[in-house]
Amino acid sequence: MTIPVPTKTPRDLAVLALRDRDGNVSANIERRVASAGLSSADAHLAYELALGSARRRATLEAIAGSYLSQPGKHLPGALNQVIAVAIYQLVFLDRIPAFAAVNEAVEQAARFHHRRQSGLVNGLLRTISRKVSERQQGPVPIAGDVIPVGPDSFRRSETPVFEDPGADAAGYLAGAYSLPRELAERWIDMLGSLESAIEVAAHANVRAPLIVRVNQATATVAAVLEELASAGVAARPHANGASIVLDDIRDVTCLGAFSRGAIQPQDPTATSVALAAAPRAGMRVLDLCAAPGTKTTHLAEIMGNQGSIVAADVSQEKIDRIADNCRRMGFTIVEPILVDQVGSLESGGFDLVLADVPCSNTGVLARRAEARWRFSPEGISKLVEAQKFLARAAAHFVRPGGRLVYSTCSLEPEENGEIARWLARSEPRVRLARDELTLPGGAGDPTAWHDGGYVAIFEVK
């Protein structure tokens, strides 16, 4: 049923975005904010409430469940999202007074046709406000009554909120750090301990900084930093030496440095893929799954815009995005094509092939708020089938003596090392030269921030 909501407040937009039936909260809130005519501050709040509540969904549900007078009680319609957005403000945000979050949620309950539940909403939120402590700084204790807020901050609850970590480590991790239980179990097993899994999970709950790669074909880090400072934009160099962290800005497209192609949004782990591929001027390169062209333009940059790059993807919209980015950044050696045309390319006709394949995104959960809720063993199995197909197809186009690069933004072994070793076993021409899994890091320091990901370099006989 469509719910008519007469206002366009940030909180209402967040609730509506969270009710997206396809679970695509990011696209939903972006669309709603674009048409709402909000001020910059209100737009920022709407994004924060929607994406933060999506990211912390399991934790918010655990907090609500622990303080409801009837745990497990089914709440109708939008009431779940109204309460989630309110608890997110109470627990995870510091600048919104508790009374404002509570009063607005009570009014929202009425606006979303749940006026009879206003008393429940009011009582639940006021109880949480009283019984959850102020934010405390320091290492986060691993305990069922401690709510992790940031990598080094937490709140204590008078009532245990999560599973006992000693008795059910995966249940605790899933609730305290807002993960599907299957993913929590995997990470504990893969990383060897609850403590190691917590480091990765905590990173997934941090607001990812906006990081841009400097196009060194036309600019330098120092020159772009100076330009941004002159424009009043707060920015810092990233530790990788090739990127810049932009503070307090959401829309990079409004910057002159972006318009003239001097910068391109890209995480440092993604930036490292083209560096690992080590293309050279004059090479013939194929970039499969290339949209939006972030790695494509980096390859062209390293090649000094000399040689040729065929960049393939599945739709005209994606092809247009690749072309737009290449034009903006001044690269003329890229030929975008639809993936349907790849079959007509010459077998063994490329010096370098990059297969940056679709994956589960478990290395970039901080940037993709709702991606964790799409994770499932069945989904992984389907992805692995597609990844094997793409890896084998990519090898088909590499000339003897050439190089194949396979990459993902996943942490899962089935999508990474297991694919690489399968390809080396099943294709006699292909030898795995090296591979590397990068765990997410830098949660407490944007200048050291990087997502997680995997890259494998193959030599082809």
383-418 pLDDT, tens digit per residue, is 999 999 999 999 999 999 999 999 999 999 999 999
Q: What number of CA atoms fall less than 13 Å from residue 149's CA on the CB side?
A: 21
Would you say residue 209 has pLDDT above 80?
Answer: yes
- According to the model, what pLDDT value does residue 72 have? 65
Alpha-carbon gap, residue 206 to 202, rounded angstroms: 7
Residues 6+ apart with CB under 8 A from 431: 424, 458, 459, 460, 461
- In terms of residues, how long is the chain? 461
Which among 58, 65, 108, 111 has a CA at the least distance from the CA of 86? 108
What does pTM read for this prediction?
0.94
Tokens 């504990």 belong to 188
Would you say residue 51 has pLDDT above 80?
Answer: yes
Contact 261, 219 (CB under 8 A): no
325-372 pLDDT, tens digit per residue, is 999 999 999 999 999 999 999 999 999 999 999 999 999 999 998 999
What is the average pLDDT across 108-134?
93
- According to the model, what pLDDT value does residue 264 have? 98
What is the average pLDDT across 304-319?
98
What is the average pLDDT across 298-319?
98
Question: Could you tell me the domains of the chain?
Answer: 10-131 (1.10.940.10), 136-204 (no CATH), 268-460 (3.40.50.150)
Q: What angle do CA 59, 113, 161 make, to 5 degrees?
A: 15
Alpha-carbon gap, residue 174 to 248, rounded angstroms: 30
3-class DSSP state for residue 401? strand
Contact 289, 391 (CB under 8 A): no
**Distance, first Cα to last Cα, the chain:** 60
Average pLDDT, whole number, for the chain? 95
